[in-house]
A and B are shown apart, each in its own frame.
Chain A
Amino acid sequence: MKRALVVVAGALALPAPAWAHATLTSAVPDVQGRVDALPRAAVLSFNERLAAAATRIEVRSAAGRPVSGTTRVRGGVASTPLRGLRRGGYTVRWRALGADGHVTSGVFTFGYRAAAPQPTEAYGAVGPGLSDDLARWGYFAAFALLLGGLGFRLLVVRGEAAAAYERRFYRVVGLGAVAALQLGLLVFLLRADDALQLPFARFLYGDVSPFAEETRFGKAFVVMSLGYTVVAALVFVAWLLERTAFLWAAFLLGLALLSGLSLSGHSAAASGSSAVSELVDWIHVSAACLWLGGVVQLALCVWPASPELRRVAFLRFSQLAMVLVAVLVAAGLYLSVLRLPSIDALWSEDYGRVLLVKLALVGAALSWGGFHHTFIRPRLLAGDTTSRGRTLLAEGATGMAVLLAAAVLVNSAPPSEPSTTTPAAGARSPR
Chain B
Amino acid sequence: MSPPPEHVHWLFATGFLFLGLCLVAESVVGRDVWRRRRWRAYLWPGLVLALGILIMPLSVFYTASTLHMLAHWSWAQVAMLMGAAQLGLVHGRLRNRLWELTVPVALVVTGAGLLVHEQRDWLYSRAAFLHHLTGWVLILGALFPLAGVMRPSWRVPAFGYAATMVLLAVLLFADRDVAPIFGHLSPLAGTPHR
Identify the A interface with B (CB < 8 A).
7-8, 10-21, 23-24, 47-49, 76, 99-100, 102, 104, 181, 185, 189, 192, 203-209, 211-213, 221-222, 225-226, 229-230, 232-233, 236, 239-241
CA distance A91 to B84 in the complex (A): 45
Contact B66 A11 (CB under 8 A): no
Contact of B184 among A8, A18, A23, A47 (CB under 8 A): A18
Contact A18 B63 (CB under 8 A): no
Q: Which residue of B lies closest to A104 (CB)?
A: B65
CA distance A211 to B66 in the complex (A): 11
Q: Which residue of B lies closest to A24 (CB)?
A: B64
Identify the B interface with A (CB < 8 A).
49, 53, 56-57, 59-61, 63-70, 73, 76-77, 80, 84, 87-88, 91, 93, 119-120, 123-127, 129, 174, 177-178, 180-186, 188-194
Contact B124 A100 (CB under 8 A): yes
CA distance A226 to B76 in the complex (A): 11
Contact B184 A222 (CB under 8 A): no
Contact of B60 among A7, A222, A233 (CB under 8 A): A222
Tell whether A204 pairs with B66 under 8 Å between CB atoms, given A13-B181, A17-B193, A185-B73. Answer: yes
Distance to closest chain A CB from B167 (angstroms) = 14
Distance to closest chain A CB from B41 (angstroms) = 13
Q: Which residues of A contact B80 (CB under 8 A)?
A: 229, 232-233
CA distance A47 to B189 in the complex (A): 10
Contact A12 B84 (CB under 8 A): no
Distance to closest chain B CB from A100 (angstroms) = 6
12 contacts between A and B (CB under 8 A): A14-B182, A14-B185, A16-B192, A17-B184, A17-B193, A19-B177, A49-B191, A102-B120, A205-B65, A212-B63, A213-B63, A225-B56
CA distance A426 to B126 in the complex (A): 44
Contact B183 A13 (CB under 8 A): yes
Tell whether A206 pairs with B93 under 8 Å between CB atoms, given A18-B127, A48-B189, A100-B124. Answer: no
Tell whether A49 pairs with B84 under 8 Å between CB atoms, given A203-B66, A204-B66, A207-B64. Answer: no
Distance to closest chain B CB from A187 (angstroms) = 13
CA distance A212 to B180 in the complex (A): 33
